[in-house]
Structure 1
């Protein structure tokens, strides 16, 4: 009986971790990307008092913003691929560097 409880708790922990990463991690990464783009734009992204110069643009902020957006987009595409593969009776394999769709074993 204790083995069944241990297996259930291990599975619940994995589901919780995946939910935190995908459920809160991707939206947080998206928000950081938006904030990075605002930082990269410098003075154009903020409201200033009339006649004062805003902060200068930070090109690294724009780069970081786009990197965040690409990671979020890859996560979404990977999730959709997993759902579609499961619907066709296939599985997503990470045996190689990139994910591939394989027959279920």
Structure 2
């Protein structure tokens, strides 16, 4: 019984880390990549001469980060709406679809 509790607690902890800290960190990475691509932080004070990442690639990384965050929010809203309608969400066909509860 205690092992079942520990397994459930571990699952909750992993989901909390991914959604609770992971999505905001991903959003922050997207904001930072757009800021650096726009010229913020472009002055090299260290003098190390490290190669810079092209601004097009930084913008693509930012768009990808924002797309993942928006997709996660939309999936969460879909699950909330489905539950409110007395249904559940199925991911059998890649896209989330509403299915009647069994």
Q: For structure 1, which runs of at least 5 residues remain unmatched after alignment?
A: 49-54
Partner Cα distance (1:5, 1:88) in 2: 35
Look up the match of 1:29: 26
Give runs of aligned pairs for residues 55-66 of structure 1, distance below 5 A: 58-66=55-63
Give runs of aligned pairs for residues 1-105 of structure 1, distance below 5 A: 4-41=1-38, 43=39, 45-46=40-41, 58-105=55-102
Partner Cα distance (2:72, 2:80) in 1: 12
TM-score by length of 2: 0.81
CA drift at 1:56: 8.8
TM-score by length of 1: 0.79
SS at match of 1:99: strand
Cα RMSD, aligned residues only: 1.9
Aligned length in residues: 94
Quick check: which one's strand share is greater?
2
Partner Cα distance (1:101, 1:59) in 2: 38
CA contact (8 A) 1:89 1:104 kept: yes
Q: For structure 2, which runs of at least 5 residues remain unmatched after alignment?
A: 44-51
Decide whether aligned partners of structure 1 residues 84 and 47 sit closer, same or farther in structure 2, where only a CA change above 3 A counts: same
